[in-house]
Each structure stands twice: as C-alpha cells, then as structure tokens.
Structure 1
Amino acid sequence: MRRFSFYCALIGAVASLLAGCDRSTLPMGPAPLNSRYKDEQPAISGNGRFVAFVSNRDGKRQILLYDLQLRQFVDLPRLNRRDTIAENPSISYTARYLVYVASDRGRPEIELYDRITGRVEVLTTGYRGWVRSPSISPDGRLVAFETDRRGQWDVEILDRGPNIELDRPDGFPLGQ
C-alpha cells in the first residue's frame, strides 16, 4: 500500500510539472496583473483601461495587454512571433493600436499592431539608421521615435496619414 501511495504521489508531481510546462496561452478570464515573472516597460492607454508591457510569462519574451477594468489579459493574435524580440510598447487611447520595437534579423524595426484587424505593419521598412523608443499619439495617427540616422540620437515623427481610422473614444465628434 505504501508503494501505491508513493507512485500516486509521483504521478501527481509529474502531472503538475507537465501542466506547468504548457506555455501556449495566458490565463483566460480574471487573472492578476502581477506575477512571479519579469514584467517591465509598462505603457498605459489614454483612457486608463489598458496596460501593455513586456513579460517573460509563458516561457518567452512577449508583449502583453491587460484590461484593468475586466482584470484579464487581452488576446493579441499574430502580435508575438516566436522568431521576434519585441520591446518598448506604446498604446493609443483605447489600445486599438500598439507600436513597439521588433527585431527578428538583428535589426530593430518599429511595428504597429491593430487590435481590430489583427494586422502587424512594419512602419520603418527600408529606413536608414537604427530606431528605438516608439510612442504613439492617443488617436493613433502619429508615431514618435528615436533614430540615429544623422549619427546621433534624434526624435522623428511619422505621420500615418489622414486616411487611417483614428482611435477615438465612443461618441467623439468626427470633425475634431
């Protein structure tokens, strides 16, 4: 009987270890913001509802988005890719748009993620010089970042143009 109890305990321990190795998803439903993992580089949305940050939860470095009102993580399909290191997130007013630095071939690029469409767009393709520290305007039209293309770190502003769908709070007049 003692041997049976030992094997049951051993099987239970192995099962819990294997369950802990499942790194495919973050918790669904209510979950605490803080954890035992390294979380850094926070950015809060203009409406104060969302916080984006870089974390090594799930066994990989990734950008996470947390809904402070619902107290749960927001699914970001196609944002975090296995072959890419993502850093320095910045989010628009309702967190529709996220900008961040991504490096998949050793060269950093500034990318924009649209939560509505699930699309990732590289904003600095073909850009000369290194880029870092992007910041997006509340409406999502302008992206500020640092660049060294003149041999020193300067600030540049990228205007995504008048034809993008702006991130505005519900009920906000279109003409403003």
Structure 2
Amino acid sequence: MKRSIFISVFACSGLLTGCFGYPRLVSYPFDPGGRSLNSLASELNPQIAGRYIIFTTDRRGSQDVYLFDRLTSNLVDLPGLNSLDAIASHPSISEDGRYVVFAASRQGRSAIFLYDRETRQSRNLTANLQAEVRNPTISADGTRIAFESTNNGQWDILVYDRFGRPLNIPQDPR
C-alpha cells in the first residue's frame, strides 16, 4: 500500500538559513506523476539547506535520493547517485548544493557516500570502516561529515572530512 506524505517547509527567522525574517508556511502541490516535491510515494527524511530540499523516496520502486530546488520549484537531476542495488537513506546537502551525503545499504552492508554534483561522482567514505553506519549529515560548507558508527561496539558519532579521512575532534572542549 502506497502512502503520501505532504512535505511542508516552515521557515522561521533564526531556525533555518536564508529565512526572510518572518514565519511562513511554504507548501508545494501534489503531483500524481512524481515530477514535483509531493507524490503518491513515500517521501522520507526531508532535509533543507539554502534553496534545496533533499529526501528519499520510493517513486521508482527503490528507495532513492531526490533533490528539489525551492527557487525553480523543480526536481534536480542527480546522475550517477542512485543505484538499483542500494537502498539510500538519510540524505543531507551542503548549503551551496554541491555535496550530498547519504547512507546506503548494499548487500547487507551499510556505508556513507558523498556525491559531488559538479563531478557527478559518488565516493564511499566508510569503505575502510568495519562497522555499521547511519544518519549522516554534512556541514554547510561541505567540508565535514558527521555520522553514527558502531566502530566501538556502541553507537558513536564520527566526523570525517569530505575525502574520507577521520577528523580528530577533542572530546573535552576545555
């Protein structure tokens, strides 16, 4: 059974980047053909950064990452990002829209991928990490990716740069 989730964006001063100084509700129309933000499919994990809304959906029969441009009110092509043999989840996008980070499960193994919209290339950031990973997010400038990992037998937060190198974040900020 397919269900539809109507995605609305609340833009409030101080809560979202690029707000207009007053609270407002932004609604996008439902499109039964799946060419807009809202469709008959499940729309999951929406995230907003600048002009973009990124989310996962099962519109084509597999769970893929979609990108919506709020300025043009159109879906943005992501060539080379989605794969028939992977289940994508929890996408996040840099403020300028160049970098997309997402979790994907392929053959029972989870990984964190970084997609560069300029080069149209995806890179597995966690290929050398022998652990389960989930829930990635990318910094506004696209230089750092944080995600959860079971590397130590529990869920911990790791921070990598966009080249897949772990960053040494001090545990005690004093």
Is TM (by shorter chain) over 0.5? yes
Higher helix fraction (1 or 2) = 1
**In the superposition, relative to structure 1, how do residues 160 and 37 fare at CA in structure 2: closer, same or farther (>3 Å)?**
closer
Contact kept? 2:114, 2:162, Cα under 8 Å:
no
Choose from 76, 85, 88 the match for 2:87. 85
Displacement of 1:36 in angstroms is 1.6
Which aligned segments of 4 or more residues in structure 1 are displaced greater than 4 angstroms?
A: none
Partner of 1:133: 135
Alignment of 1:109 with 2:111, yes or no, is yes
1:41 is matched with 45
* CA–CA separation in structure 2 for the residues paired with 1:121 and 1:32: 27
Distance 1:81 1:129 in 2: 22
1:20-31 map, 5 Å:
31=35
Match of 1:100 in 2: 102
- Alignment partner of 2:60: what SS? helix
Give 1:32 deviation, angstroms. 3.3
Corresponding residue of 1:147: 149
CA RMSD of aligned residues (A): 1.5
Match of 2:58 among 31, 56, 59: 56
For structure 2, the residue ranges without an aligned partner over 5 or more in a row are 1-32, 164-174
Q: How far is the alpha carbon of 1:126 from its aligned partner?
A: 1.6
Q: CA deviation at 1:112?
A: 0.3
Shift of 1:59: 2.6
Question: How much has 1:34 moved relative to structure 2?
Answer: 1.1
1:97-156 C-alpha deviation (Å, 9 max, x unpaired): 000011112110100000011000110012021111101001111000111111111111
Q: TM-score, normalised by structure 1?
A: 0.71
| Structure 1 unaligned regions, length at least 5 | 1-25, 162-176
1 or 2, which has the higher strand percentage? 2
The amino acid of 2:136's aligned partner reads P
> In the TM superposition, what whole-angstrom CA distance separates every residue of 1:28-51 from its partner, at most 9, and x where no partner exists?
xxx532112110101111x2x110
Q: Distance in 2 between matches of 1:40 and 1:110?
A: 17
Is the CA contact (8 Å cut-off) linking 2:62 and 2:87 kept in structure 1? no
Q: Equivalent residue for 1:32?
A: 36
Query: Sequence identity, in percent?
Result: 42
Matched letter for residue 142 of structure 1: R
Partners of 2:162 and 2:122 in 1: CA distance: 14
Where relative contact order (Cα < 8 A, 6+ residues apart) is larger, the structure is 1
